[in-house]
A and B are shown apart, each in its own frame.
Chain A
Amino acid sequence: MTREILFAGFGGQGILFCGKVMSYLGLVSGLEVSWLPSYGPEMRGGTANCHVIVSNDAVGSPIINNPTDLIVMNLPSFDKFENTVSPGGNIIIDSSLISKKTSRNDVNAHYIPATQMANEMGVPKLANMIMLGKLISVLAAVSLDQVKEALEKSVPPSKKELIEVNLKAIQAGYNFNSDI
């Protein structure tokens, strides 16, 4: 099993953190992982993305050219990466920010209004965790305990109080049925 997961959106949406939690989730599940961010001037307010690979085997190239899973939180990233997704892969789309539908019929598209849901929950900064929750439900590979453990490892000790609310956001995304 190897999942090549590309997280993409605007800087400030918590894209890199989202990838970090996913990486820890792989780690606590006993898998090999790598996390590679975009860096440099790209980070300054523009698009941000990170490449997370979770695998049974040692990770070779940490660069993802054809993701098995794309988590996308803005239109420019959707336009840029939609066609790179491997056939049979998943695209998880924040439908509050991206009104387009995918034109691909060889991938599984999951539309979730994560930003709107986060606003309604009063946690506008946690749309990323809602997206992650959806990804976890799509991959259907881990337990809630493991998610909690991954969060605990991802969040610095000074921000421990944020774990619960992050977990809630992940659950909201996990429980959201986007395929109706």
Chain B
Amino acid sequence: MDKVLMKGNEAIAEAAIRANCRHFFGYPITPQTEISAYMAKRMSKVGGTFLQAESEVAAINMVYGAAGAGVRVMTSSSSPGISLKMEGLSYIAGADLPCVIVNIVRAGPGLGGIQPAQSDYFQAVKGGGHGDYRMIVIAPSSIQETVDCTIDAFDLADKYRMPVMLMGDGMLGQMMEPVSFPEVKTDHLPKKDWATTGTKMKRKANIINSLYIHPEELEEVILKREEKYNTIYETEVKYHTEGLENADVVLVAYGTTARIAKAAIALAKQNGIKAGLIRPITLWPFPTDIIAKTAPNVKCMISVEMSTGQMVEDIRLAVNGVCPVHFYGRTGGAVPTPTAIFEQIRRYA
């Protein structure tokens, strides 16, 4: 298929539609509004539903209802809006409902700013909502990968009956790159015989619920879900590496930052320093193994983030003291430059 130039936000929306998502509930917020705008334009043309909700809270609960009714459904927002969605997200996790949530991250806390950031890492991978739950978090780093990851996100959500977050940042949402859309198949996925579509008087009632009043019962439900999470940790980790062989310094970076890190690695090469890159694509499950395996062979690792240091904690857990793990980041909407990252490489090489 011919490649077209598309903004990240629009590419996410189009990919969702190609993945047979026909229900979108959202609320406007910069810098992800193009997703809503695109959905508003396209959904009516493909027989789908676009609904601008009265709030982020309402939007995520509409997602809950539609997911419970068995359809592919998505919402999107940016950081402050995602905070509002956290209640619904916890209920969605607790009721084992599949859906896709897009966070085009901007700077925080509070109203923060509208420029790109990665400071919602903790919120996405460590919880955010209340309770023992996990969410698959996917962080693409190009527009084409955004398309592919959006399609994967729906499949993973359906496969594991859980929420999946696609996490980009303002830059990925706003920039254009050439993309093509792959053929989407969904026939390998489990049937949603648990959904509330009406009993038709032919089966027992289906109940979508996260309330279990007896501790033993709730514990059992949570532990069963934990087994599912363990399976995901064993089978669904995704990452990309570059130049790990003979590298003295390994950068760990995801999303937009990984692209900039690559430019810094090229600068290092010009200066005779061997640097490599581990780019997590799934932030949860986190690529712990490759980081642990790489640690003994390098002088150090540097986590590069658009935050004050969030993913670095998971890298340190993975490295477990085997090599030093440094951090370099910009925050508040500022974006690291290749030169600044290169300076860090040079400092620690």
Contacts and interface: CB of A to CB of B under 8 A. Distances in A.
A173 interface: no
Interface stretch (B12-20, B43-51, B173-181, B280-288): B173-181
A34 interface: yes
Contacts of A153: 4-5
B263 A60 contact: yes
Contacts of A61: 259-260, 262-263, 337-338
Interface in A26-80: 27, 32-37, 39-41, 59-63, 65
A40 to B, nearest CB: 4
A139 B304 CA distance: 35
Interface residues of A, number: 20
Nearest to B177: A34
A40 B175 contact: no
Contact of A36 (B175, B337, B339): B175
B14 to A, nearest CB: 15
A59 B5 contact: no
Interface residues on B, range: 20 to 34
A63 B260 contact: yes
Contacts of B4: 153
B335 interface: yes
B170 interface: yes
B3 A20 contact: no
A61 B141 CA distance: 10
Contacts of B31: 39-40
Interface of B: 3-5, 30-31, 114-115, 170-171, 174-178, 256, 259-260, 262-263, 266, 335, 337-339
Given A39-B114, A63-B171, A63-B337, 11 more contacts: A27-B3, A33-B177, A35-B176, A36-B175, A36-B176, A37-B175, A39-B170, A39-B174, A61-B263, A62-B171, A63-B260
18 contacts: A20-B176, A23-B176, A27-B3, A34-B176, A34-B177, A35-B5, A35-B176, A37-B174, A39-B30, A39-B31, A40-B115, A41-B114, A59-B177, A60-B338, A62-B175, A62-B259, A65-B339, A153-B5
